[in-house]
Amino acid sequence: MPLVPMRQILDEAAKGGYGVGAFNVNNMEQIQAIMEAANETNSPVIIQASRGALKYSRMIYLKKLMEAAVIEYPHIPVAMHLDHGNSIETLKQAIDLGFTSVMMDGSLAEDGKTPNTYEQNVAITKAAVELAHPLGVTVEGELGCLGGIEDGHGAGLSADEVSDHLTDPAQAEDFVAQTGLDALAVAIGTSHGAYKSGRKDPKTGETLPPALAMDRIHEIHKRMPNCHMVMHGSSSVPKELVDIINQYGGKMPGTFGIPVEQIQDGIRHGVRKINVDTDSRLAMTGAVRKVFFEKPEKFDPRDWLGPAREAAKQVYLQRMEAFGQAGHAGDYKPMSLDDMKKVYGR
Protein backbone atom coordinates (compact mmCIF):
# COMPACT_ATOMS: atom_id res chain seq x y z
CA MET A 1 0.00 0.00 0.00
CA PRO A 2 1.42 3.43 -0.81
CA LEU A 3 1.41 6.14 1.87
CA VAL A 4 -2.10 7.51 2.37
CA PRO A 5 -3.19 11.13 2.83
CA MET A 6 -3.42 11.97 6.52
CA ARG A 7 -6.84 13.53 5.92
CA GLN A 8 -8.33 10.11 5.25
CA ILE A 9 -6.85 8.68 8.45
CA LEU A 10 -8.34 11.58 10.44
CA ASP A 11 -11.75 11.39 8.74
CA GLU A 12 -11.93 7.68 9.50
CA ALA A 13 -10.83 8.27 13.10
CA ALA A 14 -13.64 10.81 13.49
CA LYS A 15 -16.16 8.31 12.14
CA GLY A 16 -14.88 5.66 14.56
CA GLY A 17 -14.54 8.07 17.51
CA TYR A 18 -10.87 7.34 18.17
CA GLY A 19 -7.52 9.18 18.07
CA VAL A 20 -4.37 8.35 16.12
CA GLY A 21 -0.85 8.68 17.52
CA ALA A 22 1.54 10.72 15.40
CA PHE A 23 4.99 9.50 16.31
CA ASN A 24 8.20 11.38 15.51
CA VAL A 25 11.02 9.47 13.86
CA ASN A 26 14.67 10.09 13.05
CA ASN A 27 15.98 6.64 12.24
CA MET A 28 15.32 3.07 11.18
CA GLU A 29 14.76 1.65 14.66
CA GLN A 30 11.92 4.09 15.43
CA ILE A 31 10.20 3.43 12.10
CA GLN A 32 10.49 -0.32 12.59
CA ALA A 33 9.19 -0.11 16.16
CA ILE A 34 6.15 1.91 15.08
CA MET A 35 5.38 -0.46 12.23
CA GLU A 36 5.77 -3.57 14.40
CA ALA A 37 3.39 -2.04 16.95
CA ALA A 38 0.92 -0.99 14.25
CA ASN A 39 1.03 -4.49 12.78
CA GLU A 40 0.52 -6.20 16.14
CA THR A 41 -2.41 -3.95 17.06
CA ASN A 42 -3.76 -3.62 13.51
CA SER A 43 -3.59 0.18 13.72
CA PRO A 44 -3.55 2.94 11.13
CA VAL A 45 -0.69 5.26 12.01
CA ILE A 46 0.86 8.67 11.37
CA ILE A 47 4.65 8.84 11.19
CA GLN A 48 6.10 12.32 11.35
CA ALA A 49 9.45 13.97 10.87
CA SER A 50 10.51 17.38 12.11
CA ARG A 51 12.90 19.66 10.23
CA GLY A 52 15.57 18.44 12.64
CA ALA A 53 14.76 14.85 11.72
CA LEU A 54 15.02 15.60 8.00
CA LYS A 55 18.40 17.21 8.55
CA TYR A 56 19.66 14.40 10.78
CA SER A 57 18.52 11.61 8.46
CA ARG A 58 19.55 13.53 5.34
CA MET A 59 16.04 13.21 3.93
CA ILE A 60 16.50 10.57 1.28
CA TYR A 61 17.28 7.95 3.95
CA LEU A 62 14.01 8.71 5.73
CA LYS A 63 12.10 8.52 2.45
CA LYS A 64 13.56 5.14 1.61
CA LEU A 65 12.93 3.82 5.13
CA MET A 66 9.29 4.87 4.82
CA GLU A 67 9.05 3.11 1.49
CA ALA A 68 10.40 -0.02 3.16
CA ALA A 69 7.83 0.30 5.95
CA VAL A 70 4.86 0.32 3.60
CA ILE A 71 6.32 -2.52 1.53
CA GLU A 72 6.78 -4.66 4.64
CA TYR A 73 3.29 -3.93 6.03
CA PRO A 74 1.02 -3.35 3.01
CA HIS A 75 -2.17 -3.73 5.07
CA ILE A 76 -1.38 -0.83 7.44
CA PRO A 77 -2.53 2.67 6.39
CA VAL A 78 0.39 5.03 7.04
CA ALA A 79 0.54 8.80 6.57
CA MET A 80 3.92 10.51 6.38
CA HIS A 81 3.68 13.96 7.92
CA LEU A 82 6.01 16.96 8.19
CA ASP A 83 5.98 18.19 11.80
CA HIS A 84 6.29 21.95 12.46
CA GLY A 85 7.02 23.13 8.94
CA ASN A 86 8.26 26.71 9.20
CA SER A 87 7.98 27.99 5.63
CA ILE A 88 6.41 27.24 2.26
CA GLU A 89 9.89 26.23 1.05
CA THR A 90 10.14 23.52 3.73
CA LEU A 91 6.67 22.27 2.83
CA LYS A 92 7.62 22.05 -0.84
CA GLN A 93 10.70 20.03 0.06
CA ALA A 94 8.65 17.55 2.09
CA ILE A 95 5.97 17.22 -0.60
CA ASP A 96 8.65 16.63 -3.24
CA LEU A 97 10.04 13.92 -1.02
CA GLY A 98 6.66 12.15 -0.95
CA PHE A 99 5.13 13.31 2.34
CA THR A 100 1.34 12.93 2.26
CA SER A 101 0.76 15.58 4.89
CA VAL A 102 2.44 18.77 6.08
CA MET A 103 2.17 21.03 9.08
CA MET A 104 2.49 24.74 8.44
CA ASP A 105 3.18 26.06 11.92
CA GLY A 106 2.15 29.64 11.28
CA SER A 107 1.69 30.32 14.97
CA LEU A 108 5.40 31.14 14.95
CA ALA A 109 7.61 33.01 12.51
CA GLU A 110 10.12 31.17 10.33
CA ASP A 111 12.63 31.16 13.20
CA GLY A 112 10.30 28.76 15.08
CA LYS A 113 10.39 31.06 18.12
CA THR A 114 8.73 34.45 17.57
CA PRO A 115 4.91 34.40 17.76
CA ASN A 116 3.26 35.52 14.50
CA THR A 117 0.24 37.81 14.43
CA TYR A 118 -3.12 36.23 13.71
CA GLU A 119 -3.15 37.81 10.24
CA GLN A 120 0.32 36.44 9.45
CA ASN A 121 -0.77 32.99 10.61
CA VAL A 122 -3.91 33.06 8.43
CA ALA A 123 -1.93 34.22 5.37
CA ILE A 124 0.82 31.58 5.57
CA THR A 125 -1.56 28.73 6.46
CA LYS A 126 -3.80 29.67 3.55
CA ALA A 127 -0.77 29.67 1.26
CA ALA A 128 0.09 26.19 2.53
CA VAL A 129 -3.41 24.93 1.73
CA GLU A 130 -3.19 26.48 -1.76
CA LEU A 131 0.09 24.66 -2.33
CA ALA A 132 -0.86 21.28 -0.85
CA HIS A 133 -4.50 20.60 -1.67
CA PRO A 134 -4.12 20.63 -5.47
CA LEU A 135 -1.55 17.86 -4.90
CA GLY A 136 -3.85 15.89 -2.58
CA VAL A 137 -1.63 16.60 0.42
CA THR A 138 -3.14 17.22 3.88
CA VAL A 139 -2.45 20.44 5.84
CA GLU A 140 -2.23 20.89 9.59
CA GLY A 141 -2.11 24.42 11.02
CA GLU A 142 -1.67 25.73 14.53
CA LEU A 143 -3.46 28.48 16.39
CA GLY A 144 -2.07 29.67 19.73
CA CYS A 145 1.38 28.91 21.12
CA LEU A 146 2.67 25.97 23.09
CA GLY A 147 4.75 26.50 26.23
CA GLY A 148 8.48 26.01 26.55
CA ILE A 149 11.22 26.14 23.97
CA GLU A 150 12.64 22.68 24.28
CA ASP A 151 13.76 21.10 21.01
CA GLY A 152 13.99 24.51 19.36
CA HIS A 153 10.23 24.80 18.84
CA GLY A 154 8.21 27.28 20.82
CA ALA A 155 8.14 30.85 21.90
CA GLY A 156 9.81 30.12 25.23
CA LEU A 157 6.70 31.23 27.09
CA SER A 158 6.54 30.93 30.85
CA ALA A 159 3.63 29.12 32.50
CA ASP A 160 1.88 32.48 33.02
CA GLU A 161 2.48 33.69 29.46
CA VAL A 162 1.15 30.42 28.05
CA SER A 163 -2.31 31.26 29.36
CA ASP A 164 -2.34 34.39 27.14
CA HIS A 165 -1.53 32.28 24.07
CA LEU A 166 -4.12 29.51 24.43
CA THR A 167 -6.31 28.87 21.39
CA ASP A 168 -9.37 31.10 21.37
CA PRO A 169 -12.39 29.01 20.23
CA ALA A 170 -14.10 31.90 18.38
CA GLN A 171 -10.88 32.74 16.57
CA ALA A 172 -10.41 29.02 15.79
CA GLU A 173 -13.72 29.05 13.93
CA ASP A 174 -12.59 32.00 11.84
CA PHE A 175 -9.14 30.44 11.29
CA VAL A 176 -10.56 27.18 9.96
CA ALA A 177 -13.02 29.00 7.70
CA GLN A 178 -10.39 31.37 6.31
CA THR A 179 -7.64 28.84 5.72
CA GLY A 180 -9.53 25.65 4.72
CA LEU A 181 -7.01 23.47 6.59
CA ASP A 182 -7.60 19.81 7.43
CA ALA A 183 -6.37 19.62 11.02
CA LEU A 184 -6.08 22.26 13.72
CA ALA A 185 -3.33 22.06 16.34
CA VAL A 186 -4.55 23.73 19.51
CA ALA A 187 -2.65 25.34 22.36
CA ILE A 188 -4.20 24.27 25.65
CA GLY A 189 -1.18 24.49 27.95
CA THR A 190 0.95 21.59 26.72
CA SER A 191 4.59 21.97 25.76
CA HIS A 192 7.19 19.83 24.02
CA GLY A 193 9.70 17.74 25.91
CA ALA A 194 9.91 16.06 29.30
CA TYR A 195 9.34 19.10 31.51
CA LYS A 196 5.79 20.13 30.83
CA SER A 197 4.83 21.64 34.13
CA GLY A 198 6.58 24.87 35.00
CA ARG A 199 4.34 24.96 38.10
CA LYS A 200 5.48 24.33 41.62
CA ASP A 201 3.50 23.93 44.79
CA PRO A 202 4.30 27.20 46.63
CA LYS A 203 4.35 25.40 49.99
CA THR A 204 6.24 22.19 49.24
CA GLY A 205 8.17 23.23 46.12
CA GLU A 206 6.99 20.02 44.48
CA THR A 207 6.42 19.96 40.70
CA LEU A 208 2.70 20.07 39.89
CA PRO A 209 0.99 18.59 36.83
CA PRO A 210 0.58 21.01 33.91
CA ALA A 211 -2.75 22.84 34.04
CA LEU A 212 -4.53 22.01 30.78
CA ALA A 213 -7.39 24.09 29.40
CA MET A 214 -9.45 21.12 28.23
CA ASP A 215 -12.47 23.43 28.15
CA ARG A 216 -10.98 25.05 25.02
CA ILE A 217 -11.10 21.70 23.25
CA HIS A 218 -14.66 21.09 24.44
CA GLU A 219 -15.74 24.51 23.21
CA ILE A 220 -14.03 24.19 19.79
CA HIS A 221 -15.66 20.79 19.33
CA LYS A 222 -19.06 22.25 20.20
CA ARG A 223 -18.60 25.04 17.66
CA MET A 224 -17.04 22.81 14.95
CA PRO A 225 -17.96 19.14 15.47
CA ASN A 226 -16.25 18.19 12.19
CA CYS A 227 -12.93 19.90 12.93
CA HIS A 228 -10.05 17.47 13.49
CA MET A 229 -7.98 18.76 16.39
CA VAL A 230 -4.33 17.95 17.08
CA MET A 231 -2.71 17.83 20.51
CA HIS A 232 1.02 18.60 20.44
CA GLY A 233 3.28 17.99 23.39
CA SER A 234 1.27 14.90 24.32
CA SER A 235 3.90 12.62 25.75
CA SER A 236 2.89 11.23 29.11
CA VAL A 237 6.50 11.11 30.37
CA PRO A 238 5.85 7.95 32.43
CA LYS A 239 7.66 7.93 35.75
CA GLU A 240 8.83 4.35 35.21
CA LEU A 241 10.70 5.36 32.03
CA VAL A 242 12.35 8.35 33.71
CA ASP A 243 13.22 6.15 36.70
CA ILE A 244 15.13 3.75 34.44
CA ILE A 245 17.14 6.64 33.00
CA ASN A 246 17.93 7.97 36.48
CA GLN A 247 18.69 4.50 37.85
CA TYR A 248 21.37 3.98 35.21
CA GLY A 249 23.22 7.24 35.55
CA GLY A 250 20.86 9.78 33.96
CA LYS A 251 19.85 13.06 35.56
CA MET A 252 16.25 14.00 34.82
CA PRO A 253 14.65 15.47 37.92
CA GLY A 254 11.22 17.15 37.93
CA THR A 255 9.83 15.74 34.69
CA PHE A 256 6.11 15.86 33.98
CA GLY A 257 3.85 14.76 31.14
CA ILE A 258 0.23 14.64 30.03
CA PRO A 259 -1.86 11.88 31.64
CA VAL A 260 -3.37 9.55 29.04
CA GLU A 261 -6.82 10.12 30.61
CA GLN A 262 -6.67 13.78 29.62
CA ILE A 263 -5.83 12.84 26.05
CA GLN A 264 -8.75 10.42 26.06
CA ASP A 265 -11.00 13.25 27.18
CA GLY A 266 -9.71 15.26 24.21
CA ILE A 267 -10.42 12.32 21.87
CA ARG A 268 -14.03 12.28 23.07
CA HIS A 269 -14.18 15.93 22.01
CA GLY A 270 -12.67 15.98 18.53
CA VAL A 271 -8.92 15.39 19.03
CA ARG A 272 -7.88 13.02 16.24
CA LYS A 273 -4.08 13.36 16.08
CA ILE A 274 -1.88 13.05 19.15
CA ASN A 275 1.79 13.99 18.83
CA VAL A 276 4.21 11.85 20.80
CA ASP A 277 7.98 12.09 20.54
CA THR A 278 9.47 12.43 24.02
CA ASP A 279 8.09 9.13 25.35
CA SER A 280 9.94 7.09 22.75
CA ARG A 281 13.09 9.12 23.37
CA LEU A 282 12.84 8.30 27.07
CA ALA A 283 12.21 4.62 26.44
CA MET A 284 15.15 4.31 24.06
CA THR A 285 17.54 6.26 26.25
CA GLY A 286 16.64 4.19 29.33
CA ALA A 287 17.15 0.94 27.41
CA VAL A 288 20.54 2.04 26.09
CA ARG A 289 21.70 3.24 29.52
CA LYS A 290 20.66 -0.07 31.05
CA VAL A 291 22.71 -2.09 28.54
CA PHE A 292 25.75 0.15 28.98
CA PHE A 293 25.48 -0.13 32.76
CA GLU A 294 24.77 -3.84 33.04
CA LYS A 295 26.97 -5.06 30.19
CA PRO A 296 29.89 -2.66 29.94
CA GLU A 297 31.77 -5.14 27.80
CA LYS A 298 29.27 -4.75 24.92
CA PHE A 299 30.29 -2.72 21.89
CA ASP A 300 28.12 -4.02 19.04
CA PRO A 301 25.50 -1.30 18.31
CA ARG A 302 22.91 -4.03 17.79
CA ASP A 303 23.26 -4.91 21.47
CA TRP A 304 21.88 -1.51 22.48
CA LEU A 305 19.90 -0.38 19.43
CA GLY A 306 17.89 -3.63 19.58
CA PRO A 307 16.69 -3.10 23.17
CA ALA A 308 16.08 0.58 22.37
CA ARG A 309 13.84 -0.40 19.46
CA GLU A 310 11.97 -2.89 21.65
CA ALA A 311 11.48 -0.31 24.44
CA ALA A 312 10.09 2.24 21.96
CA LYS A 313 7.77 -0.39 20.53
CA GLN A 314 6.26 -0.97 23.99
CA VAL A 315 5.43 2.76 24.19
CA TYR A 316 3.79 2.72 20.75
CA LEU A 317 1.79 -0.42 21.59
CA GLN A 318 0.44 1.20 24.75
CA ARG A 319 -0.44 4.48 23.02
CA MET A 320 -2.14 2.76 20.07
CA GLU A 321 -4.38 0.89 22.50
CA ALA A 322 -5.02 3.95 24.67
CA PHE A 323 -5.86 6.28 21.78
CA GLY A 324 -8.27 3.72 20.30
CA GLN A 325 -6.68 3.34 16.85
CA ALA A 326 -5.94 -0.35 17.53
CA GLY A 327 -8.04 -2.68 15.43
CA HIS A 328 -8.93 -0.09 12.78
CA ALA A 329 -6.30 -0.67 10.07
CA GLY A 330 -8.63 -2.73 7.92
CA ASP A 331 -11.74 -0.57 8.24
CA TYR A 332 -11.32 1.26 4.94
CA LYS A 333 -9.82 1.19 1.50
CA PRO A 334 -6.84 3.54 1.44
CA MET A 335 -7.00 6.56 -0.82
CA SER A 336 -4.20 7.83 -3.01
CA LEU A 337 -3.12 11.46 -3.31
CA ASP A 338 -4.87 11.46 -6.71
CA ASP A 339 -8.14 10.38 -5.07
CA MET A 340 -7.69 13.15 -2.52
CA LYS A 341 -7.06 15.77 -5.21
CA LYS A 342 -10.53 15.04 -6.56
CA VAL A 343 -12.08 15.40 -3.09
CA TYR A 344 -10.44 18.82 -2.62
CA GLY A 345 -11.44 19.80 -6.17
CA ARG A 346 -15.16 19.32 -5.49
Considering only the stretches 29-37, 122-130, 150-158, 237-245, report the one whose residues sit in contact with ligand G3H under the rule CB under 6 A. Answer: 150-158
Spell out the SS3 assignment of the chain. CCCCCHHHHHHHHHHHCCCEEEEECCCHHHHHHHHHHHHHHCCCEEEEECHHHHHHHCCHHHHHHHHHHHHHCCCCCEEEEEEEECCHHHHHHHHHHCCCEEEECCCECCCCCCECCHHHHHHHHHHHHHHHHHHCCEEEEEECCCEECHHHCCCCECHHHHHHCCCCHHHHHHHHHHHCCCEEEECCCCECCCECCCCECCCCCCECCCCCCHHHHHHHHHHCCCCEEEECCCCCCCHHHHHHHHHCCCCCCCCECCCHHHHHHHHHCCEEEEEECHHHHHHHHHHHHHHHHHCCCCCCHHHHHHHHHHHHHHHHHHHHHHHCCCCCCCCCCCCCHHHHHHHHHC
Number of residues in contact with ligand 13P under rule CB under 6 A: 13
Binding pattern for the stretch 76-115 against ligand G3H, x by CB under 6 A and - elsewhere: -------xx-------------------------------
Q: Minimal distance in Å, beta carbon 142 to ligand 13P?
A: 10
63, 221, 232, 319: which one binds ligand 13P (CB under 6 A): 232
* Min CB(153)–ligand G3H separation in Å: 5
| Site for ligand G3H, residues 23 to 82, rule: CB under 6 A | 24, 50, 52-53
Active-site residue (options: 11, 83, 182, 277): 83
Q: Does 51 bind Zn ion (CB under 5 A)?
A: no
Give least dist CB 154 to Zn ion, A: 8
Residue 234: CB minimum distance to ligand 13P, A: 5
Q: Determine if 193 is a binding residue for ligand 13P (CB under 6 A).
A: yes
Which lies closer to ligand G3H via its Cβ, residue 281 or residue 309?
281
**Annotation marks residue 83 as catalytic:** yes
Binds 52, which of ligand 13P, Zn ion, ligand G3H, none (CB < 5 to 8 A, cut-off by type)?
A: ligand G3H
Interface residue list for ligand 13P (CB under 6 A) = 24, 83-84, 192-193, 232-235, 275-278
The set of catalytic residues is 83
